[in-house]
């Protein structure tokens, strides 16, 4: 689950925290990061099904059920151009897997989200019987930076 917790006073006692479940999607995966804007409003970069998203809330209390959380897609792996370089024999399919986001905000509140993109090759058919079957693996790894408009 992705849960946002907040505490404004007496945080050490453990009873002053409140929270809200933002997602219980089974495809949540590695990488979450939190930044607060100049008004202490949360911006959360996260990984869902190897895509990068950004949740943000500008409500007075972002931990209540009626808090307005909005979603921005930072980048989807399927939007990246497919790679045609296959390093492993009999691999014929490639896909991008995005993960491990980190967020920072500019003084004006524009989110900057950095993350890793891995190109993974695979395959199900043997196109060259003289070579071993495809073993899925990483062909390349990129560091990416997306600068979004102010929220």
Percent with pLDDT over 90 in the chain: 69
Does the pLDDT value for residue 107 go beyond 80? yes
Average pLDDT over residues 63-84: 93
Average pLDDT over residues 48-56: 97
126 CB-near residues (< 8 Å, 6+ apart):
90, 133, 134
Average pLDDT over residues 7-26: 91
> How many structural domains are present in the chain?
1
Percent with pLDDT over 70 in the chain: 100
> How far is it, in rounded angstroms, from Cα 142 to Cα 32?
18
Does the pLDDT value for residue 89 go beyond 90? no
Regarding pTM above 0.85, the answer is yes
Judge contact between 31 and 48, C-beta under 8 A. Answer: no
Q: Which domain holds residue 101?
A: 2-147
Average pLDDT over residues 19-47: 95
């Amino acid at each position: 689950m992705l849960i946002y917790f907040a505490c404004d006073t007496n945080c050490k006692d453990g009873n002053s925290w409140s929270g809200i479940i933002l997602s219980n999607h089974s495809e949540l995966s590695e990488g979450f990061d939190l930044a607060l804007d100049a008004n202490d409003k949360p911006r959360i970069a996260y990984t869902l099904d190897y895509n990068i998203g950004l949740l943000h809330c500008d409500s007075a209390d972002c931990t209540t059920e009626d808090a307005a959380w909005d979603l921005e897609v930072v980048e989807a792996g399927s939007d990246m151009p497919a790679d045609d370089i296959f390093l492993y024999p009999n691999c014929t399919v490639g896909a991008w897997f995005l993960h491990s986001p980190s967020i920072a905000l500019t003084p004006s509140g524009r989110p900057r989200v950095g993350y890793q993109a891995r190109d993974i090759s695979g395959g199900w058919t043997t196109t060259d019987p003289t070579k071993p079957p495809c073993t899925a693996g990483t062909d390349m790894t990129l560091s990416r930076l997306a600068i979004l408009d102010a929220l």
